[in-house]
Structure 1
Amino acid sequence: MNSKLKNIVFRPMVEADISGAMQLVLAENWNQTEEDWRMLLDLNPELCLVATYKDTIIGTVTAMNYKDQVAWIGMMLVSKDFRGLGISKNLLHTIIEKLEGCTSIKLDATAAGIPVYRKLGFLEELKIDRMVVPAFNGKLDNTNKDTVKPLSQADKEELSRLDLKIFGANRMELINALKKRNKAWYIVRDEHMVGYVLGRPGLNFFQIGPLMAETTDDAINLIEIVLKEQVGKSVVIDVLNDQIPFKQRLTALGFTCQRSFVRMYLKDNSFAGSVSKQFLIAGPELG
């Protein structure tokens, strides 16, 4: 047995672990912040796990449980010095066991992770492209922006109905947590909400998403409102691969594809929602 294994402990994450978890984020050059970790802990404390070696954080995994309908596994990180010891396998098996009551378990996998997840029974659903712009130039089309309005507390019920219809599961606790961190917008047609967008600051980029909308034009109007306040800043988005006209507009705005993820599911996919109206995900760790 490797001598390191004797000193590795697997346990629930606590707030004091955030600084150690951030060291793993920094090592991989991911975009999550301390505030992201706090949000994950606040929303699902029992689904945030760490592996430690002599009190140092060497591995993490989290999950978001959306009312036992869909759960999202994310933040699977293992220190490079401790890879090949079965740490990620242990964390993953433990988090899946904790999600036994969930109808569907999902994750957004990198190319390296796909073979691992296939062995566990995960099936592929769709592809997601990460697109970035290092410094947004501010060249926007101002058409129809008068129909885009800031979200308020009074819009909560209509937002909940729209997101449930398009995303497919109830994730309003997440939506409310994200709304507190930055401005949020929705678009109106015939006096009804037909789309919305959220965003938040990240470690390296401002992340836009989720973005749900009835049409591509609605989605473009929404993202351009957000981009208007990000001129000169770095922006990242995770866009569904099949949203071709939307991606063409993003390319015209200066975005380029950085890498791709594959959305995978375990057990069941009955809460997939209306995929054609899903444009940007909230993030690979959130869905």
Structure 2
Amino acid sequence: MRKPSGSADRSDFRQVRLLPQQSQEALALSAEAGWNQTAEDWRIMLQHGSGVGFRNRQGELVASIVSLPYGNVDWIAMLLTRRDSRGAGLGTRLFDIALDTVRKSGRGAALDATPLGKPIYERHGFHSVTVLRRMELRTPAETHGAAHGIQAVEAPHTAALAELDTGVLGLDRRWLIAELVRQPQLVMLTDVSDPDSLLALRRGRIAYQLGPLYAGSPESAMRLTAAAMATSAEQPLFVDVPERQAEYLGRLASLGFREQREFTRMALSHTTCTGRPEAFYAMAGPEFG
């Protein structure tokens, strides 16, 4: 029988390394929290990153954290504790493990924080970089045919896409772009009139995730968004937008998108990510940044 929430003790759990073949177990944690990740997202993270968790006495996975290598920066994500195992400090312990690894390596660290997590990360030396608004479309909006000049991107162009991604975000995510391009259900688009443009649309557990989205102007961003909406098969759609992109946010609202929640992008004080924020219109989800 499971203990009531808040009665767990650290001695009830053992620390474990998380492996790609455990992605279905990990999915149960993020699904309980209502998050949008899929088992394939977990496989990608655990194959390329470092995952740590805790199992209870019954051998069930009850807590997790993942660190993803983005060049000289570790992206920290998927800090989760199952409801019936909270109160034993598992999340705090996992975050300490991730930070200890970062500090010993001399690397930087960044993450996307919920409002509840933000003050905790601030106490650990993280500072705010930008605020992102999760915009959600539940009722399909009408689209007016294919957007002129929008075309699909094929796998052979992965190197160019990775170069664009690095230039905009200031993070080296070549392995992630290569993984995304190989996903059979992924839609990746570009605006032929905009050399700075890229949009990825992938199926999540509860909604499509639109992002990353890079563009040279709000007009280009909207052309790509309209094309993605026409592709999403009338399913719910999430797009996480930096608040500095006020014009794009306004246009999304006019199409029926509503703000669901916010994230704060945060980084340790010594972390440097020199990119081009003016071209950054949407992230790839808080798991990937």
**What TM-score does the superposition give when structure 1 sets the normalisation length?**
0.91
Q: Secondary structure at the match of 1:23?
A: helix
Write the letter of the residue equivalent to 2:228: V
Match of residue 87, structure 1, among 76, 90, 93: 90
Within 5 Å, give how 1:137-286 maps onto structure 2.
Answer: 137-140=141-144, 145-181=147-183, 182-189=186-193, 193-286=195-288
- Decide whether the 8 Å contact of 2:10 with 2:89 is kept in 1: no
- The answer on whether the counterparts of 1:130 and 1:236 sit within 8 Å (CA) in structure 2 is yes
Mean Cα displacement is larger for which, 76-85 or 114-123? 76-85
Match of 1:33 among 31, 35, 38: 38
Structure 1: runs of 5 or more not aligned: none
* CA distance, structure 1, for counterparts of residue 245 and residue 150 of structure 2: 21
Q: Which amino acid aligns with 1:22?
A: L
Tell me the TM-score normalised to structure 2 length: 0.91
Q: Does 1:72 align with 2:80?
A: no
The equivalences for 1:3-14 within 5 A come to 4-14=9-19
Q: Is the 8 A contact 2:20 2:47 kept in 1?
A: no
Q: Secondary structure at the match of 2:253?
A: helix
Q: How many residues align?
A: 279
Partners of 2:17 and 2:52 within 8 A in 1: yes
Moved more, 99-108 or 174-183: 99-108
Q: 1:16 and 1:263 mapped to 2: Cα distance?
A: 29
Deviations 1:218-269 (A, max 9, x none): 1111111111112421111111111111011111111100010111101324
Contact 1:195–1:211 (CA under 8 A) maintained in structure 2: yes
Which residue is equivalent to 2:3? none
- How far residue 102 of structure 1 moved from its aligned partner, in angstroms, is 5.4
* Contact map agreement 1:138 1:232 (CA 8 A) in 2: no
Are 1:15 and 1:41, in contact at CA under 8 Å, matched by a contact in 2? yes
User: Which residue of structure 2 aligns with residue 59 of structure 1?
Assistant: 63
Superposed CA offset, 1:170-229 (max 9, x none): 21111111122212111223xx72210112111110111101111111111111111111
Shift of 1:141: 7.6
> 1:271: Cα distance to partner?
1.1
SS in 1 for 2:148: helix
**DSSP 3-state at the match of 1:228:** helix
Counterpart Cα distance in 2 of 1:166 and 1:15:
29
Distance 1:256 1:3, change over 3 A: closer
Question: What amino acid is aligned across from residue 158 of structure 1 in structure 2?
Answer: A
Coordinate RMSD, CA, aligned: 1.8
Instruction: Check conservation: 1:140, 1:253, Cα contact below 8 A.
Output: no
Report deviation, 1:70: 2.1
1:40 is aligned with what amino acid?
M
Letter of the structure 1 residue corresponding to residue 115 of structure 2: A
User: Counterparts of 1:200 and 1:155 in 2: how far apart (Å)?
Assistant: 18
Q: Does 126-135 or 152-161 show the bigger shift? A: 152-161
Q: State the SS of the aligned residue for 1:169.
A: coil
Q: Is contact 1:103–1:267 with CA below 8 Å preserved after alignment?
A: no
Structure 2 unpaired stretches of 5+? 1-6
Please name the residue that 2:4 is paired with: none
